Amino acid sequence: MRYQRRVAAIGLIAASALVLSACGSDENAGGGGVSAAPGVTCGGKPDLRSSGSSAQNNAMTRFVATYQQTCQGQTLNYTPSGSGAGRNEFLGGQTDFAGSDSALKDGDETTRAQARCASPAWNLPLVFGPVAIAYNVPGVTDLVLDGPTAARVFNGQITTWNDPAIAALNPGKQLPAAPIVVNFRSDESGTTENFQKYLVAASNGAYGKEAAQTFNGGVGAGARGSQGVADATKNTPNSVTYVESSFAQRGGLGMAQIINSGGGQPVPLTTESVATAINNVQISGQGNNLTLNLNSLYQTSAPGAYPIALATYEIVCSNYADDPTGQAVRAFLQTALSPGAQQALPDAGYVPLPDQFKQRVTTAVNAIQ
């Protein structure tokens, strides 16, 4: 079957549900009922292996449960070893596909993927989780920020809550004259990298730092993991952090409304606002290689679009060297796109794929050989 190209019909029903939060990369997810996925042709390799992004681990737990319910006797062993390790293990042939907060890089990684697959590799964005700018400011329950102002908070240029730049975005609110305490991830983190990418893209040069998995703002106090920064902010009045919104929710923290690059009204983090941003994101890859131009998300000007989210790719072979592996990978991803699997995501802190975007991913998944 290698290099044959057949386009399978889209056989899954799109489903979009509620949101609230993001990639619980460090902590456990809740339970929830599991139902079999309709319209999936099971079979192939019985024990798939995958590894990579810890940010999608809780989503993968739900996807695996749906896969096992749908395809009796088949399973996937997913190891949340981190995005870089996941890509390397896939390229080295140790796993059947990878989960990664970053798409394969042009050049060496793409060349190695072609050699590993004996076909092109595809980057398929399957999991999205919004990132909140979470805060603990006594007396302030509806803070508004925009990209340039947030960038100047997180690089230390704005140091008090009643700074004129913050006050201009929050007219009529009693902002304290207290110093701002920034809490950041002390460990390497895809959340940190994606949040800094937002600050770079949306600040018109105000951030002035490079985006990396380590925090480069040069200000504040470090804490390990998502739970660590959420706890530090909960326990420190007048502090602020960036964190997956499930952690902000559980900690009772405020979540800033964001004025996106189009100006206009502040946008709260909701199901609809994140889905609007995802639906408007641009795809830079060709065909079924759905690499995203994330700057189009961070710099979105769409009314009602919340602009800060992390995307995780499943990196797959478009045409596997052995048919059983291709069949099983396709079936697993089809179950992950099913209504039951998608509707379970909010409990784990992720965003179900909106219909329009989900159709693109489904088409690509159905074409895996």
Both tokens assigned to 281:
């994101």
pLDDT recorded at residue 272 = 85
Residue of 226, 228, 192, 227 lying closest to 209 (CA atoms): 192
Residue of 183, 136, 188, 150 lying closest to 25 (CA atoms): 188
Residue of 287, 256, 286 lying closest to 273 (CA atoms): 256
Q: Which residues of 36-73 are buried (b: 16+ CB within 10 A; e: fewer)?
A: bbeebebebbeebbbbbbbbbbbbbbbbbbbbbbbbee
pLDDT recorded at residue 3 = 34
Distance CA(51)–CA(68), nearest Å, equals 18
Residue matched to tokens 């909010």: 346
Distance CA(238)–CA(139), nearest Å, equals 10
Neighbouring-strand partners of residue 183: 221, 241
For the chain, 369 residues long, the average pLDDT of each consecutive 10-residue run is 34 31 37 67 95 88 94 94 89 95 89 95 93 96 97 98 98 96 91 94 96 94 92 98 90 96 94 87 91 93 94 95 96 94 86 88 96
User: How buried is residue 349: exposed, middle or buried, by Cβ count under 10 Å (0-12/13-18/19+)?
Assistant: buried
3-state SS string for 259-322: ECCCCCCCECCCHHHHHHHHHCCEECCCCCCCCEECHHHHCCCCCCCCCCEEEEEEEEECCCCC
CB 57 within 8 A of CB 30: no
Residue matched to tokens 């092109």: 120
Residues 6+ apart with CB under 8 A from 45: 74, 96, 322, 324, 325, 327, 328
Distance CA(364)–CA(369), nearest Å, equals 10
Domains in the chain, CATH or no CATH each: 131-273 (3.40.190.10)
Global confidence as pTM = 0.78
CB 298 within 8 A of CB 201: yes
pLDDT recorded at residue 29 = 37
Residue matched to tokens 């460090």: 26
Both tokens assigned to 68:
């096992």
Distance CA(164)–CA(161), nearest Å, equals 9
User: How buried is residue 205: exposed, middle or buried, by Cβ count under 10 Å (0-12/13-18/19+)?
Assistant: exposed
Distance CA(132)–CA(282), nearest Å, equals 22
